[in-house]
Structure 1
């Protein structure tokens, strides 16, 4: 079976009923989790936004699936009764739609037209990118290509080490989640519902950057809305629906940006070194990353150390990443 055929089998093996029910469960969990976050400014109206951030963070550590007992109970109930569970990509989509809805309903009216068009375009592009990465081929090579065949078998020696050319599929790795071999496998991304490999690595990076920019923009716009509303209302802003939703979604966006920036920096670091996340974590499984230091007087036992045969220097590594074709 070809890579495309294998991918198609994986994408369509779930019935339409399961997909619909999973989406409904995901939507319900997002509404519950966002409602729990919206209750924070109502319960703690005297707290400043900075003080509300760690409180929201504690809820978001379990968000969007376990942010409250009601969410936990609903998740278990749906799995037992319907035989389905929430879908991580659906949770991402519904959270994005929720923030977009709050923006259109409340924040948009205080935002300049040009910035408003930019934010709406961002959200639309993110949804299109999510669909593309969810339905696209990450670089699956087919069932007949086993994990062991995709690993270069040479172990390098400290003495006389020379750069060697690797076979085309030397970086094919096996994904336990998808049960498939993927060329250029970086990691399996539950949030995007697919492996990240040779064919969608650039799209993955664009999506992460897009989410950081979109959520930072939302934070800026919601902050402006809060400031303008507080200046026109003497009190009670935090006690109405719009105030609760804007503040809670603003805190949610800030928390998302904080961890996503660290996540983005890690992947940019790996690109600059031309190493995949899976290779960095599991380098001892892949012989091409081994360099054996031969025994010497006073050190009778050989020692295995890490080497990166794919490193072509920062500029060369970035060029190779940018030249990768989808």
Structure 2
């Protein structure tokens, strides 16, 4: 007997609080380290500061990871992402907002609010988990999940069911496990994921536009000044942070749009040799001792068909 269900692994309140506290500290440390870049290199342009900021950010995250491993404590990636959103929003409200026209101010605040709401929705969403009973679980372990999945390949309910090694469960339409959102991306929440990813790009691009507008007015007029060295450095460092985020998120978003156009998942693309339906066996030619295995996509319905498949309601 198989049934659909969604049940996130439970963690104790103390463990959740500790992970959130560590994430908050790491997010704060990252932004303090980034704020030192304009402090130490005040004569450089924003473009020149970008590679330095990227190095500082990667080094800070790496040192934080080593520190956590040394102390044996864990952090929450979703909490880290959430604290970064709130930090940027806080800097905007506290420092930048007064220099921004009311319409742009309303738009950016609405974008931040929607981003937090969307983040909560995808964190708590069901990606399309498939719950097996104990007998099915034993059978899947004995046969291997790929072979076990072939029994359901003709059933729409169980099409493209993949196994997530992190969540230790089966996901219908599994694309990948997203640590930043603390959830798998599957059949039921893939559209929400794409929308949220686009929301991050739009919001951070809007923040960059507003912060650069603030910096320009502060430098070129006497009406608005940087209130202090600390606030000025924070505006510049958060601008650099937003630009770096937009750069990699745009690439990530383009990749997922490309996969949508081909009707393929990230997991299937990377590990296609694990799934028989993606393997096209070419019989050996004279002089070739073994057959050749090539990639084929049986789910590709053409651009229009793939887009219809992506936007149609998910059961």
TM-score, scaled to structure 1:
0.86
SS at structure 2 position matched to 1:141: strand
CA contact (8 A) 1:186 1:197 kept: yes
Greater shift in the superposed pair: 54-63 or 190-199: 54-63
1:170 aligns with 2:159: yes
Counterpart for residue 116 of structure 1: 105
Pair 1:55 & 2:80 matched? no
Aligned partners of 1:227, 1:166: CA distance in 2, in Å? 60
RMSD of aligned Cα (Å): 2.4
- CA distance in 2 between counterparts of 1:222 and 1:150 reads 53
Matched, 1:8 2:1: no
Aligned with 1:75 (options 68, 92, 95): 68
Partner of 1:312: 301
| Contact 1:174 1:182 (C-alpha < 8 Å) held by counterparts | yes
Q: Within 5 A, what are the aligned runs for 1:14-25? A: 14-25=11-22
Q: Which of 149, 152, 163 is the equivalent residue of 1:151?
A: 149
Paired position in structure 2 for 1:274? 263
| Structure 1 residues 91-102: aligned runs within 5 Å | 91-102=80-91
| 136-145 or 172-181, which deviates more | 136-145
After TM superposition, the structure 1 stretch with the greater mean CA deviation from structure 2, 53-62 or 37-46, is 53-62
Please list, as runs of the form range in 1=range in 2, the aligned pairs for 1:1-326 lying within 5 A after superposition.
Answer: 2-4=3-5, 7-10=6-9, 13-63=10-60, 65-66=61-62, 71=64, 75-76=68-69, 79-80=71-72, 84-144=73-133, 146=140, 147-148=145-146, 151-152=149-150, 166-168=154-156, 169-232=158-221, 240-299=229-288, 301-325=290-314
Distance 1:173 1:43, change over 3 A: same
The one-character-per-residue Cα deviations of 1:52-99 (angstroms, maximum 9, x if unpaired) are 111001112245x33xx5x4676356x44xxx4110000000000000
State the alpha-carbon separation in 2 of the partners of residues 112 and 319 from structure 1: 40
Q: Give aligned pairs, total.
A: 303
Residues 165-216 of structure 1 deviation map (CA, whole Å, 9 limit, x = unaligned): 8432230000000000000000000000011000000000001000000000
Runs (5+) with no aligned partner, structure 1: 155-164
Comparing 23-32 with 287-296, which one deviates more in the overlay?
A: 287-296
Give the C-alpha shift of residue 241 in structure 1. Answer: 1.3
TM-score for both structures, normalised by structure 2: 0.89
Three-state SS of the structure 2 residue aligned to 1:55 is helix
- C-alpha distance in structure 1 between counterparts of 2:166 and 2:65, whole Å: 24
Check conservation: 2:164, 2:170, Cα contact below 8 A. yes
Alpha-carbon distance in 1 for matches of 2:148, 2:237: 47
Q: Give the 3-state SS of the residue equivalent to 2:170 in structure 1.
A: strand
2: CA distance between counterparts of 1:208 and 1:298?
50
Residue 62 to residue 322, structure 1, CA distance change in 2 (3 Å) = farther
Alpha-carbon displacement from aligned partner over 1:224-251 (angstroms, at most 9, x marks no partner): 00000011359x9597111100000000
Q: How far apart are the structure 2 equivalents of 1:72 and 1:49?
A: 28
Query: Cα distance 1:42–1:125, how it changes in 2: closer, same or farther (>3 A)?
Result: same
Distance 2:15 2:148 in 1: 34
Closer/same/farther in 2, CA of residues 105 and 122 from structure 1, 3 Å limit = same
Relative to 1, partners in 2 of residues 1:2 and 1:305: Cα closer, same or farther, differing over 3 Å? same
Q: CA deviation at 1:153?
A: 7.6
| CA shift for structure 1 position 14 | 0.4
Whole-angstrom CA distance in 1 between matches of 2:102 and 2:39: 31
How has the CA–CA distance of structure 1 residues 308 and 16 changed in structure 2, closer, same or farther, with 3 Å as cutoff? same
| In 2, Cα distance between equivalents of 1:51 and 1:166 | 55
